[in-house]
Each structure stands twice: as structure tokens, then as C-alpha cells.
């Protein structure tokens, strides 16, 4: 259907007494997302845009896009955007926030950007307690460059550079950077969410909303990790990738709040925060 | 209180990932046998059981689904 047909159809439904329950927010542009079919990036973009729309902060939001799959995020958000050098989004966001304290500043990064090359910037921005929101999309792989091993790749998980599965002796352990950041005093809100089911999407949206609202409090970094699929990198269909993610990613990256209002959330095992939580070995 | 729903799918932007098929509680959506301009089997509505829950729109990565509902 062409755009005009869609608008016509929507108008017809409204004339027939239907009310609109859901439509794509205007904070996202009409550009077609370049992501692979079924990628969690698209959903996460939409959630961030919806939160910006609902809070009415479109004209005072500045985003920082990373290098990675989401490098062209600036094409899709109808808000001010900056493109950072690889991994340096938190440093750029620091500058933007300090120069424009009234703006809502968020970084949008993947695991290769935030947890590998940008580790120093990430940790120091969090440790300084910069008053920004960080959205971290973790799919356990370098998606854009062809599915190489990332710091977050699970033990035993096959990737382009670990064809026999990630071997701890050779490649080390997966980095749970979200737990690591929760131990820093500068973070105010740290949570891990996912976007594979309607229920998960609603929770993730509430978390992103809280992360943006926290900027008004000036208490420190609000960090939202979204565990996502990478169906092309994992060589699966989108639906199978979501299922695999639930079975294998979630035991290693448990979903839920880790730090709320500057305090470790209830029910969080202290062992998990010092990274001695047992990792499961996957076979794919 | 029952609701009757309608969804409008932007078939040209749909990538046929089928995530909405898995999310739909009423099995309203199927992949089309036809392809769109980009060569994807887009999604289409195959019956009138839609209840307007917006689960499909919630999980759609490309935001191509708009949902409408009315009480009946």
C-alpha cells in the first residue's frame, strides 16, 4: 500500500467509530530502518522515541549514536543527534550535557561499542556520575561487521571468529558490564530488559521512561541494557533467535532491575555483582 | 466487554520477520505469498478475530502496524 492509501484506510477506520490504539510515533522519521528483519534495535528505537514523545521533550533531547549496527540512528530519530567516534559516545554525551544542562542527553550503543572499545569511556562516565541516560543493546556479537566474537559472546557460542564456540581458555569470559557498572557509585539506575514479547516491551519502555525521568533528578547515570537478538549473526530466523535468546542469553544476562534509585535492587545476589555468578555454557 | 480490532499494515516497509505472528494471541496475521518492493513476504490479516490488543504493534521492530479498536 502506498502512503496515501494507508492514511485513507486509517481515516476510514476512524470514521467507522474505531479509536486509535497504537501507531508509530512521530518522533521516528519515515525512513525505513536499515536493520535486519526482526532485529531488536528497531523495537528499542521505537521505545526511546515513544518515551521522548510522551515526555514532550523532543525539542530538548540530544542523542549520541555509536559505531556499530545503530550507527545511523540519527536517520531515524527526529531529535538532535551527534555521531561519536567508536566507543566515545559517553564522552561526547558528557560534554553535551555539561554544556546544555537543560537538555535530555542519551547515548545509544551496542555491545561492541560500549563494552569493548568504549569500556574506558563507559566506566569513567558512569563513575563520574554524569547526568545522562545510556541505552545499551546487547546481542552478544558484532553484528554489523559479520558476527565476530564480542566481549558479551557467551561461553560456547559460535561466531565468525570462534567457529568452535567461545573457549574460556582462549577467549576469556563474557563481560557482564551492566553488573559491573551497578557497583560504581555514579550510577543511579541500572536495569536489564529485553524486547522480544509484548510484555517485555512494556517493561523495557517503563525502564527507559524512568531512565529519562531520572535526568531531572541530577543524581547520576541511568543505564538501560536491552538484551536483543541478532538473527543474522546467530544464523537463525527472528522467531527462533528470540527463543534462543530466552533460553541461553537470559540465564547469563538475567532480566530485571539491578540498581534502583542509587541502591542495589532487592533480591540481587551480591555474588552476581562481583561477577562470580556461574556462567552457563551454550551449545549452538 | 468485547472489542473488535483492525490493524493497518504498511506492507512496503514490512520486512516479514514474523515476530508479530508469534506475538498475536488470535492468529490474525500470516505471511503473504506475495512479496513487496524489497522482496520480503509481508504480513497480512487473514481473519477478523482481531481484538485490538496491539501486541503485534508492540513487538514490530519496524513500527509498520497501526492498531484500531472499537467496542462491540
Confidence class for position B6, pLDDT limits 50, 70, 90: very high
Q: Do A19 and B69 touch (CB under 8 A)?
A: yes
**How many CB atoms within 10 Å of residue A34?**
14
**Mean pLDDT within B23-43:** 94
Say if the Cβ atoms of A22 and B70 lie within 8 Å.
Answer: no
Q: Residue A278 has what pLDDT? A: 62
**Domains in chain A, start-ordered, CATH in brackets?**
36-273 (3.40.50.970)
Question: pLDDT tens digits, residue range A45-77?
Answer: 999 999 999 999 999 999 999 999 999 999 999
**Nearest-neighbour CA in chain B from A72: distance (Å):** 15
Q: Please, what's the largest Cα pairwise distance for chain B?
A: 40
Alpha-carbon torsion, ordered A30, A32, A38, A41, to 10 deg: -70
Average pLDDT, chain A: 92
Query: What pLDDT does A280 receive?
Result: 73
DSSP strand E in chain A: where?
19-22, 61-65, 80-83, 104-110, 133-138, 187-194, 221-227, 256-260, 263-264
Contact A38 B64 (CB under 8 A): no
On whether any CB of chain A is under 8 Å from the CB of B8, the answer is yes
Q: CB distance A32–B60 less than 8 Å?
A: no
* Number of helices followed by number of strands (H, E) in chain A: 11, 9
pLDDT of residue A276: 52
Residues of A with CB under 8 A from a CB of B: 1-3, 6, 9-10, 13-14, 16-25, 28, 32-33, 35-43, 46, 195-198, 201-202, 231, 237-239, 242
The number of domains in chain B is: 1
Question: Which one, of A94, A256, A107, A120, lies nearest residue A190 by Cα?
Answer: A256
CB pairs under 8 A between A and B: 105
Q: B3-9 and B65-71: which strand pairing?
A: antiparallel
Angle at A13 between CA A9 and CA A14, to 5 degrees: 115
For A244-277, how does the pLDDT look when each residue is reduced to its tens digit (9 = 90+)? 999 999 999 999 999 999 888 888 877 777 655 5
- DSSP letters of A150-174? -TTPPTT---SS-TT---HHHH-PP
C-alpha distances in Å from residue A59, one per residue of A3, A54, A94, A205? 26, 13, 19, 20
In degrees and rounded to multiples of 5, residue B68 shows phi and psi of: -130, 150
Mean pLDDT confidence for B25-35: 94
Range of the domain at B36: 3-71
CATH of the domain at B13: 3.30.70.20
pLDDT at A253: 92
b/e map of A145-173 (b: 16 or more CB within 10 Å)?
Answer: eebbbbbbbbbbbbbeebeebbeeeebee
Q: What is the pLDDT of residues A177-235, one digit of tens each?
A: 999 999 999 999 999 999 999 999 999 999 999 999 999 999 999 999 999 999 999 99
Spatial separation of the C-alpha atoms in residues A108 and A228, rounded to whole Å? 13
pLDDT in tens, A85-101: 999 999 999 999 999 99
List, for residues A149-175, the tens digit of each pLDDT value: 999 999 999 999 999 999 999 999 899
Say what the pLDDT of residue A154 is.
Answer: 94
B45 to chain A, any CB pair closer than 8 A? The answer is no
Amino acid at each position: 500500500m502506498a502512503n496515501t492509501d494507508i492514511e485513507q484506510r486509517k481515516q476510514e477506520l476512524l470514521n467507522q467509530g474505531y479509536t486509535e490504539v497504537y501507531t508509530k510515533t512521530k518522533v521516528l522519521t519515515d525512513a525505513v530502518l536499515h536493520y535486519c528483519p526482526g532485529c531488536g534495535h528497531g523495537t528499542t528505537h521505537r521505545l526511546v522515541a515513544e518515551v521522548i514523545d510522551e515526555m514532550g521533550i523532543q525539542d530538548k533531547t540530544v542523542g549520541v549514536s555509536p559505531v556499530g549496527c545503530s550507527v545511523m540512528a540519527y536517520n531515524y530519530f527526529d531529535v538532535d543527534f551527534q555521531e561519536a567516534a567508536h566507543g566515545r559516545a559517553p564522552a561526547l554525551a558528557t560534554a553535551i550535557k555539561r554544556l546544555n544542562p537543560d537538555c535530555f542527553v542519551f547515548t545509544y550503543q551496542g555491545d561492541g561499542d560500549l563494552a569493548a572499545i568504549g569500556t574506558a569511556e563507559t566506566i569513567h562516565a558512569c563513575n563520574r556520575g554524569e547526568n545522562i541516560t545510556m541505552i545499551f543493546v546487547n546481542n552478544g556479537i558484532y553484528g554489523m561487521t559479520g558476527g565476530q566474537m564480542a566481549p558479551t559472546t557467551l561461553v560456547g557460542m559460535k561466531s565468525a571468529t570462534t567457529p568452535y564456540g567461545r573457549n574460556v581458555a582462549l577467549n576469556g569470559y563474557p563481560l557482564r558490564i551492566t553488573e559491573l557498572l551497578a557497583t560504581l557509585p555514579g550510577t543511579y539506575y541500572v536495569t536489564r530488559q529485553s524486547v522480544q514479547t509484548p510484555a517485555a516491551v512494556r517493561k523495557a519502555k517503563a525502564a527507559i521512561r524512568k531512565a529519562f525521568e531520572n535526568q531531572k533528578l541530577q543524581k547520576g547515570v541511568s543505564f538501560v541494557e536491552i538484551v536483543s537478538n541478532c538473527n543474522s549473526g546467530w544464523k537463525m530466523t527472528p522467531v527462533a533467535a528470540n527463543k534462543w535468546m530466552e533460553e541461553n542469553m537470559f540465564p547469563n544476562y538475567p532480566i530485571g532491575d539491578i540498581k534502583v534509585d542509587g541502591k542495589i535492587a532487592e533480591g540481587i545476589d551480591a555474588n552476581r555483582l562481583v561477577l562470580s555468578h556461574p556462567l552457563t555454557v551454550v551449545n549452538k | 466487554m468485547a472489542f473488535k480490532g483492525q490493524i493497518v499494515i504498511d506492507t512496503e516497509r514490512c520486512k516479514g520477520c514474523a515476530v508479530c505472528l508469534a506475538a498475536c494471541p488470535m492468529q490474525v496475521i500470516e505471511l503473504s505469498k506475495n512479496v513487496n518492493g524489497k522482496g520480503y513476504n509481508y504480513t497480512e490479516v487473514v481473519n477478523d478475530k482481531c481484538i485490538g490488543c496491539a501486541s503485534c504493534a508492540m513487538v514490530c521492530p519496524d513500527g509498520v502496524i497501526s492498531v484500531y479498536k472499537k467496542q462491540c
